[in-house]
Amino acid sequence: MVGVNMKQNNYILIIISFLSGLLISGFYYFLFDKIETVKKETRIQLQKSFFPEAQFFEEVNKDTIIVKDKNNDIIGYVVYGSSNKGYGGNINVIVAFDNNGNIKDFLMIEHNETPGLGTNVNKEYFRKGFIGKPPLKEELPLSKDEFITKLGIYPVSGATYSSLAVSYALIDAGIKLFKKDYGEDNTLSEEYNEWDDIFFFMNN
């Protein structure tokens, strides 16, 4: 009898797990469009916060947006960059660039970084160190020590990985910004290949 009861209990647990999975999948299926809509609206609000004077946001591709004023003149760009070097893995950033391709501002928007540590890369004191810089490996830190030598700031205390991941993501965004005119695949290789070097010479 004990063996029969154990088998019955196992079957019941399997059925409960299966039904729970179906229920969760069903909720996600019905909420997916709503989640995507909220995500899109949030991104639009962030874009507007970087360029309050903007009237038009023209999408070049899924990662790159041209920003124009009421006279239809280009006043900057918004680009989404990423890096897999975060403490918690991948991070995504939204970056505002001015007409010269220099960093106007940025925010880390999707991540698995530690709250109160890694998330401090969004603090103004840290972001200000990058403002006005071109998004190039020659200009942005690729190691802990380069924060002082290149930006004049320290990485976020207790969050060196997160700080470096932001720097790499900004370089990724810079490469995507340059590639927008060439229809290339917007993917940053580990070697940064020749694209960022070309971008460097185009801005000097």
Label the pairing between strands 74-86 and 89-97. Answer: antiparallel
pLDDT, mean of residues 141-159: 96
Same domain, 35 and 93: no
- Cβ atoms of 76 and 104 within 8 Å: the answer is yes
Same domain, 26 and 69: no
Same domain, 12 and 104: no
φ/ψ of 63, rounded to 5, equals -110, -15
- DSSP assignment letter at 150: I
Same domain, 169 and 89: yes
- Report the pLDDT value the prediction gives residue 187, as an integer from 0 to 100: 42
Nearest-angstrom CA–CA distance, 65 and 81: 12
Q: Indicate if the pLDDT at residue 128 is higher than 50.
A: yes
Label the pairing between strands 74-86 and 64-68. Answer: antiparallel
Same domain, 152 and 93: yes
- Report the pLDDT value the prediction gives residue 37, as an integer from 0 to 100: 73
Same domain, 61 and 45: no
Q: Indicate if the pLDDT at residue 22 is higher than 60.
A: no
Nearest-angstrom CA–CA distance, 111 and 91: 4
- Report the pLDDT value the prediction gives residue 79, as an integer from 0 to 100: 97
Counting the structural domains of the chain, the total is 2
- Report the pLDDT value the prediction gives residue 94, as an integer from 0 to 100: 96
Q: Indicate if the pLDDT at residue 19 is higher than 60.
A: no
- Report the pLDDT value the prediction gives residue 20, as an integer from 0 to 100: 62
Q: What is the pLDDT of residues 70-118, one digit of tens each?
A: 999 999 999 999 999 999 999 999 999 999 999 999 999 989 999 999 9
Same domain, 17 and 65: no
Domain that holds residue 152: 52-202
More confident of the two residues 103 and 39: 103
pLDDT, mean of residues 184-201: 42
Q: pLDDT-derived band of residue 191, with 50, 70 and 90 as boundaries?
A: very low
- Report the pLDDT value the prediction gives residue 197, as an integer from 0 to 100: 43
